[in-house]
Every structure is written in structure tokens, then in C-alpha cells.
Amino acid sequence: MLYRTMPKTDDQLSILGFGCMRLPSTDGKIDEARAIAQIRSSIDKGVNYVDTAWPYHGGASEPLLGKALKDGYREKVKVATKLPSWLLESHEDMDTILNAQLERLQTDHIDYYLVHALNGPLWDSVSALRVTDFLERAKQDGRIINAGFSFHGILPDFKRIVDAYPWEFCQIQYNYLDQEFQAGKEGLKYAHDRDLGIIVMEPLRGGTLALPTPPPAIGEIWETASVKRTPVEWALRWVWNQPEVTLVLSGMNEEEHIEQNLAIAAQAEANTLTEEELNLIDQASRQYHSMMQVGCTGCGYCMPCPAGVMIPNCFDAFNKLSMFGKADEAKFSYALSISGVLGTNEPGFASQCVACGECLEKCPQQIRIPDVLEKVAEALEDEDLEERIEQAKIVFKRRPQ
């Protein structure tokens, strides 16, 4: 494991952190034994930064992490969690939530505490509630050690939030597709120049950049490289190549993916990609942008949908249809994963959308979700949908139990 220094704290942090937003689940609930084993194994192999948040897994992520950090593991890591800015109605709410988080996590302090999911309007709202006074008080009494924020807005708002308080760090979405999205490369450098540590989320764009078999046009680009790498390695090494980045949260939740990420994190030094390799990544970025229909990362902030639509799954199927161009395969996969055939959910088709608009204020990518869902339904739901669902039921029944 490689480590980088958090500028204002001098903490030596593993360049790969363990994020607890997408823990392994069974029947909609966290698979506790498996999740705990994954977290502890990662710590044993050098990970020393673990990130969670109040709403992850419907509030179950923080308590799970508290259990995982028993038996001496708490002392081995820096714990990060987040204040849900959108829930705040009063200044007192901040203390109430932080104290509940300390209890959930079974700890007396949070090493890295973030004001969660800020954009311009949310920052104005929490500022009016004196959030910086709360942060100062919580730092003075030892409940939090370092203060930061995560961001899902536009660049001008990012800069004014950076300048509004002496933050120790920030967390931004950043990958080779999102160099000009939200904070982007300019925001990365702006924060770095002011000595903020930078935590990167969505380095794989919700898994889009890590598909084992990439779209043919992308695969052709990687095939021309003199050094052969997997798609996930290209994506992660691009982020880690930038010295401004302190650490990355990759969203890993499969044992194979964790081992793969750990192996890459053992050798991804900054400034080591060649000009040829950076040019190939730029080509891949341009190609992906030309193929993708919707910029969804699968974060799930839009969920649950009042109408039951499985929004991230619908968008994932729509993008795969666009990228791979295999209509029959995409429509069957859509029927299988969205219909509830697998027994883990009720049907959540795009056509169930009633355009209530509740998802619009939640989406950090600012996607016009109802409009796109209408396009998904048009592309993936036809007169043969019911037949595909019946076929999916047959396939599922044939799977070994």
C-alpha cells in the first residue's frame, strides 16, 4: 500500500480508502459477516481510512462500521462520516446527529467529518444555521478532529465554499470522464493550492470505467497501449497519477475487486503515466462521452423512488444499450434486473415513473431524471417485455441454488 500526506494534518493516509456506501447486501440488507470481513481484511492489508455516512444503506452503514472496528481495528484507521446537510432544520440538529453518529460508530471521535453533499443552495442553508460554529465547537470538545465537506455542485460554488472556512479537506467526484464536471480539475487544483487534502469519490464512474469487457471502441483503444492494463487499472492510475489527490474511494464491494484495487494501490505512484498513456486515456474519455446517454454514477441518492422505479438500474441498462449496441441482450438484462424476478425487489420499470419530481432535487449529477426515464422506457420496454420477463423467470429457476 502506498501512502500520501494530508497537507494540514500530516496524517499518512493509504491512497485507497474503504467506502461503505455500497457494502455487500442480501435481500436488501447488509451482509454483515461478509462486509465486516471485507473491511477488516482491507485494514490488515494497509487501508487506514474508512468512509461512511448517515444515510448509507438506509442508516445501517454507520452501525455496521462500528461493529467492524471492534477488536482493535478502530485504533488502526481514520474514520470519516458526514453530517446530512439536507436534513438540518436547526443549529441544534447538528449536535443531535453527531452524537448519534458517535454512538452508532461506537467511538468518542470522528477523525474526518464532512458536511455532506454540498452545493451552493445547501451551503447557504447550513451557513445560515451556523454550521461553522458547530464545527469549531465539535473540534474544541474533541468529537471531531478534522472538518471537510463533500461536494455535488458547480465550480463557482465549490470555490466559495473552499474559501468560507479553514477546512482540512474536501471530497469531490473525479475521474477521467468528469474533468470538467462539478469541481473538476480546476476545483481540484484550487483546493490543493489552499492546502486542502482531496478525497476522490466515483473514480470509476459508478463502475462504468471498470467493466471487465469494455465497449468495443474502448477496448480497441486499450489494445494499442504498449503496457497492457485492465480498464479499472487505467481509471484508478489516472486519478492517482495526480499528486493533488490524497486518497481514492473506489466503491469496491466484491472480494475480487478489493484485491484488484489493493494491488493497483501498491504501485500507483504520482506522475508515472507516460505522455502516450495519458493520450490514450484522453481518447477513451472522448469515446465514452460520445456513447453515453446519461451521466448517472449509480450513487442511489435518488432512491427510494415513490413510484418504485429502480432509477440507477434503468440508467445503467440504458447506457449499456448505447455503449454496446446489443439491443436484444440489453432488453433481456433489463427485464431480468428490473422486473423483480431475482426476488430482491418489486418491479421498478422506467415506465412506472409518474414525474413527481422528488428525485430531481436529490440527484448530485443534476440529471433530468423523469425525462430520461421516458427515453429508457421507449428504448427498453416494447411489446415483448412480458415475454422477456417470463424467459427471465425460466432462466432464474435454472440457476443453481
pLDDT tens, per residue, the chain with 401 residues: 999 999 999 999 999 999 999 899 888 799 999 999 999 999 999 999 999 999 998 899 999 999 999 999 999 999 999 999 989 999 999 999 999 999 999 999 999 999 998 988 899 999 999 999 999 999 999 999 999 999 988 899 999 999 999 999 999 999 998 898 889 999 999 999 999 999 999 999 878 888 888 989 999 999 999 999 999 999 999 999 999 999 999 989 899 999 999 999 999 999 999 999 999 999 999 999 888 888 887 788 898 899 999 898 889 889 888 877 778 877 887 887 777 655 446 788 999 999 999 999 889 888 999 999 999 999 999 888 888 888 777 655 443 33
CA distances from 207 to 22, 157, 235 (A): 12, 27, 10
Planar angle of CA 292, 294, 300, nearest 5 degrees: 130
pLDDT for res 341: 54
Q: Which residues are bridge partners to 30 per DSSP?
A: 25
Cβ pair 8, 198 in contact under 8 A = no
Q: How far apart are CA 177 and CA 297, in angstroms?
A: 11
Q: Supply the DSSP string of 234-253, one letter for each residue.
A: HHHHHHHTSTT--EEE----
pLDDT at residue 399, as a whole number: 37
C-alpha 10/C-alpha 168 separation (Å) is 11
> Does residue 111 sit in helix, strand or coil?
strand
The residues, any chain, with a CB within 8 Å of residue 264's CB and separated by 6 or more, are 16, 232, 233, 236, 237
Q: What pLDDT shows up at residue 321?
A: 86
d(CA 375, CA 291): 15
Q: Whole-prediction pTM value?
A: 0.81
Separation CA 93–CA 174 (nearest Å): 31
Beta-strand (E) ranges in 20-159? 25-26, 29-30, 49-51, 78-83, 110-118, 144-151
Query: For the chain, which residues make up each domain, given as ranges?
Result: 3-289, 311-398
Q: What's domain 3-289's architecture?
A: Alpha-Beta Barrel (3.20)
At residue 401, the pLDDT reads 33
* Alpha carbon distance 226, 360 (integer Å): 44
Contact of 56 with 62, CB cutoff 8 Å: yes
Q: What is the pLDDT of residue 345?
A: 60
Residue-level pLDDT at 400: 35
